[in-house]
A and B are shown apart, each in its own frame.
Chain A
């Protein structure tokens, strides 16, 4: 594929979707679903009223806090579990039991504990991203080939140096996979959390636009913003995977 083509065809597809959308709205005569122009006007209105950046900022702040907290606690936990087989066989059943529970199931408890506040949303994000980070880190550390561990020991490394210079870098690609999954889930969860637990942010924008005046143009605008920002988050964490010191762990890059 030539260079321009890799931009050209996606652009064509995007325009085609917009046209289909517009024509669909016109032919069906729907009163609920807005056309692309109405959505664009809705967006402009949000910017004019000075709400947009605040909402985006609030959502990103919640994701940022919960996710950072999950990393700060999840990576050390995963390392300990991966390093001490006894710890992991003791705790693994609990982790495996907690893992399939949707983070949204924590909503009632989070509201009881934290009320309608940022903390409730941050707690939900934390619950959503903690387990993927722990499990990925644990597996990463556990799966370091014994050969590499032995090589490190052979050169006389202390346990701390062995960890820093061999175990951690060897596990890092798997840890990054976990971080990426966790970030994706966090962004999904923040929308749901904001519909229930707080009164700002992109999730709140969607639910409030519907409740306050059936402003479906703003609902769709909010959805598109969520999609766009989620995509940017994923692209930026993918860039980390391209660093040469971790790229070896991503087979098909």
Chain B
């Protein structure tokens, strides 16, 4: 290994886990072309928490779906550990809003959904471990319709973590939750991330959310989306959301997007 990293902060020692190179996406609908992503370049290091922040409809989900292998980029490519993304893969799990849980299965069934290759005993162990990690003990046999929105979201995160993926893609996962539950879920997610150190791409349109969670915030423009700026959030967790540095970073993003933060 060369000495490239000697002066950089220690995290930069790790090579890029995910790299997005020159990704553009044009949808063709009714003979018209919709230009959604325009030459996106982006890297995420192993174990890094990256937020993709942008207004609704700018193409965040499209980008995440390309990274997940559900959509093809029109030009450009995404590689993970140097390997080009060609389709969905259990090593990188996509977490939707809570609507992605399977309503016909119990909590246990959902969390164990991806563990079909494991022997029974090990599967049981894993399920129990992740039920505990997301704090759903006592609800193993409950069906999703008996759970609150926040609990369903925990089930989905647990289902993703249980298959031990390298990468998690979260697409506005807390968007449908009430604001109190959303705050709780953010700190829960951080706790799990600190326990398991997955590389996370987290899409949101909520500036506060991005600054509370991310190592880096990728600020996107309106459609066709380009990257306006990448903001390093150099505040250790747990973050004091009234500290001067937090406010400074948050406000700089507000300004970047062209919003005065007065109501």
Contacts and interface: CB of A to CB of B under 8 A. Distances in A.
- Is B one of A's binding partners? yes
Contacts of A151: 94, 96, 100, 102
Contacts of B132: none
Contacts of B88: 150, 153-154, 156
Interface string A45-70: 00000000000000000000000000
A37 interface: no
Contact of B105 (A147, A154, A245, A249): A245
Contacts of A245: 104-105, 143
Given A155-B90, A170-B104, A248-B104, 13 more contacts: A148-B100, A150-B88, A150-B96, A153-B88, A154-B94, A155-B113, A156-B114, A166-B102, A169-B105, A244-B143, A245-B104, A247-B145, A248-B103
A128 B102 CA distance: 33
- Tell me the interface secondary structure of chain A in the complex: helix
Interface of A: 145, 147-148, 150-151, 153-157, 161, 165-166, 169-170, 172, 244-249
Contact of B93 (A147, A154, A246): A154
B100 A248 contact: no
B126 to A, nearest CB: 14
A165 B113 CA distance: 9
A223 B35 CA distance: 66
Nearest to B92: A154
B32 to A, nearest CB: 22
A156 B114 CA distance: 8
What class of interface size applies to chain B in its complex with A? 20 to 34
B23 to A, nearest CB: 19
A246 B89 contact: no
27 contacts: A145-B99, A147-B96, A147-B99, A148-B100, A150-B88, A151-B94, A151-B96, A151-B102, A154-B89, A154-B90, A155-B90, A155-B93, A155-B163, A156-B88, A156-B89, A156-B90, A165-B113, A169-B105, A170-B102, A170-B104, A245-B104, A245-B105, A247-B143, A248-B103, A248-B143, A248-B144, A249-B103
B150 interface: no
Nearest to B97: A147
Which has the most chain B C-beta neighbours within 10 Å: A151, A161, A165, A245?
A151
Interface of B: 68, 70, 88-90, 93-94, 96, 99-100, 102-105, 113-114, 116, 143-145, 163
Which has the most chain B C-beta neighbours within 10 Å: A150, A153, A155, A248?
A155
Contacts of A147: 96, 99-100
A147 B145 CA distance: 18
Nearest to A169: B104
Given A145-B99, A155-B113, A248 B145 contact: yes
Given A154-B88, A155-B90, A248-B143, A161 B116 contact: yes
A249 B103 CA distance: 8
Nearest to B144: A248
Which has the most chain A C-beta neighbours within 10 Å: B94, B100, B102, B145?
B102
A103 B90 CA distance: 49
Given A156-B114, A166-B102, A150 B143 contact: no
Contacts of A244: 143
A169 B113 CA distance: 13
A248 to B, nearest CB: 4
A72 to B, nearest CB: 23
A156 B118 CA distance: 13
Contacts of B99: 145, 147
B48 to A, nearest CB: 21
B15 to A, nearest CB: 25
Contacts of A155: 90, 93, 113-114, 163
Nearest to A156: B90
